[in-house]
Chain A
Amino acid sequence: MNKILENSIEKKVVLEARDLKKHFEISKGIIKREKVNVKAVDGINFKVYDGETLGIVGESGCGKSTTGELLLGLLEPTAGEVIFNDVNLSKMSQEELRLARKDLQVIFQDPYSSLNPRMTVEEIISEPLIVHNIMKGKKLKTRVKELMNLVGLQEHQLKRFPHEFSGGQRQRIGIARALALDPKVIVCDEAVSALDVSIQAQILNLLKKLQDELDLTFVFIAHGLPTVRHISDRIAVMYLGKVVELADKNELFDNPLHPYTHGLLLSVPVPDPELRKDDPTTMKGEIPSPSNPPSGCHFHPRCKFATEKCKELVPEFREIIDNHYLACHHPLIKEDNEVFDTSND
């Protein structure tokens, strides 16, 4: 019943990645003659729906931050397209792109290096409004105060400089700046990773509250799985430039189908010593260099289910169950008892 209802009300797609690729050329060798293509993002497809939070997780080097920059139109894709509100970002004129950027904002990881140390909080938050020529004078001042209140800062802090604030408060300044232009989509690139746990909780709660109040769409890029589960509606797991699995968050955590997702979930330390386990499933090896990825399925050298097929054939990213997308030749379907015996949970 629920399903029918959900499908009948067509969800609106705000942002879409279509076969998106970004390759960087780097020089190698002693005299830098050799050119190597690093496939940071190598053909990814997903949609971001209006008002949802799409989480993107993966280990370092998987291409999640590059994906974020592509979605924002900060990088020109090597191939494929980013569609924002039915328009291809790379086909836009400079002027159109400038206008689109109002709706596409970003919150960065490091609240120390992402704020100009010589600007006051007031200048930082009002800058986007001035650049886009939206308001000035008294109106601008009121708007800045409104934004400060919205993110939990005090009005008397307007004239202060970033160094006078703690990490958590600086992140609030960054959030206020991102909100200034009333954006539709905010890409949060590791937005809470640099903060202490008790402060992380404050910022996560703030982001959720703002999403409800302002009808925002988030793309939440992070490596911390519990954090991503907490804030996201759907989650995409990336490995070496590709999305390997994408599903509703509960579906993904309760029923991971890709061996990499499964291994990743088991690697997260659980804050309960009673659940300490010496499981044999610890993933072997490390993430290979994206300049020289393994053939076939990129995960095959670390995967214990890999067969000849995995070495040769790149698995297709497809919908395997309703709304559960996967790129794997040997998904961990529940009948396969051998798989779930090793997990102990």
Chain B
Amino acid sequence: MEKLLQVENLKVRFKTNEGYVSTVNGVSLEMKKGEILAIVGESGSGKSVTSLSILDILPPNGEVYDGEVYLEDKNLNKISKNEYRKLRGKEMSMIFQEPMTALNPVFTIGFQLRESLQLNLKMKKSEATKKGIEMLELVGIPDAEKVMTRFPHQLSGGMRQRVMIAIALSCDPKLLIADEPTTALDVTIQKQILKLMKNIREKLNTGILIITHDLGVVAEIADRVAVMYAGEIVEEASVFELFKNPKHPYTRGLMASIPKIHDVVDKLHSIEGMVPNPAEMPSGCKFHPRCPLADNECVSNHPKLEKISDTHAKRCFKV
């Protein structure tokens, strides 16, 4: 399969009152066309910042200070802000966690759908309306013509997320970034949205980068998974390998700490301590203060992400 996205040694820092704080420390990723890659991690792991830097929409105090991003063969670090702007929405687009805040409350769904079509594809209004209705039907919204005239507050959470997906896909992007797309939704609706995203991939061959903290969602939808901790990828594998044979102690801890619906235990495994503050990163392996296997080597040396098979890599001395 053809290469879609390549991220090389990405480093992102934020300017704060206490100086620069680095939240993404050398992330490398690769995605093929039509692939679904999941980035899993807890809050503060840098998973969202990674996705924002791919689109170049970091908040004003954030900057990419090292590393490169390629979309197909295009080096995105070498293009102007204006060119970047043309890529967003057209070649790559994003859906967010909260569809209420991501949609503009004072414009109709139809207006917001047409907006990107008219801007990016230079469509006429009537063409855009037609395409908009098509898109709404694609994402499974009944009575699409009527919904075009509605405002966001008139729709339910699940419907709003479908509208967001319709807008994101309207210009047929090659890459869709979904940041916690189902976290704010109820489980029955979550199931519907995940199914929709899988269908979209089948139909349009869109590559989907999904950011989530929910291993259940990962198992349901992803082809490959990257586990992030404290701004680094600590393990990367195909979804089947990762769940069958997790290597990194953090991944293992994460898997053991979720209550399973079909397998009831008395006491849940828990990872002691908490995610470190990016301003006070531990030395060596960043997971060592919470790791049951850590020894002196882990305190003083920083492990590299090494391949253990063609489809599996881990960042740990001990396993």
Contact = CB atoms under 8 A, between A and B. Distances in A.
Contact of A268 (B189, B255, B261): B261
Interface string B156-191: 111100000000000000000000000000111111
Contacts of B272: 202
B216 A271 contact: yes
A160 interface: no
B264 A229 contact: yes
A286 B156 contact: yes
Contacts of B214: 197, 269
Contacts of A223: 186-187
Contacts of B244: 274
Interface in B221-274: 222, 239-240, 243-244, 253-255, 257-262, 264-265, 267-272, 274
B194 A226 contact: no
The number of chain A residues touching the other chain, given as a range, is 35 or more
From B156, B222, B261, B274, name the one whose CB has the most chain A CB atoms within 10 angstroms: B261
Nearest to B270: A201
Nearest to B260: A226
B268 A230 contact: yes
In terms of DSSP, what is the predominant structure of the interface of chain A? helix
Contacts, number: 128
Contacts of A202: 270, 272
Nearest to B158: A286
B128 interface: no
B239 A273 contact: yes
B187 A268 contact: yes
B261 A225 contact: yes
Indicate the member of A197, A202, A226 with the most B CB atoms within 10 Å: A197
B261 A265 contact: yes
A306 interface: no
B29 interface: no
11 contacts: A59-B188, A169-B274, A202-B272, A205-B267, A265-B261, A267-B190, A269-B217, A270-B216, A270-B219, A283-B188, A287-B186
Given A202-B270, A204-B259, A269-B219, 13 more contacts: A60-B186, A168-B274, A196-B43, A198-B254, A201-B268, A201-B271, A226-B261, A267-B188, A268-B216, A272-B219, A274-B243, A283-B191, A286-B188
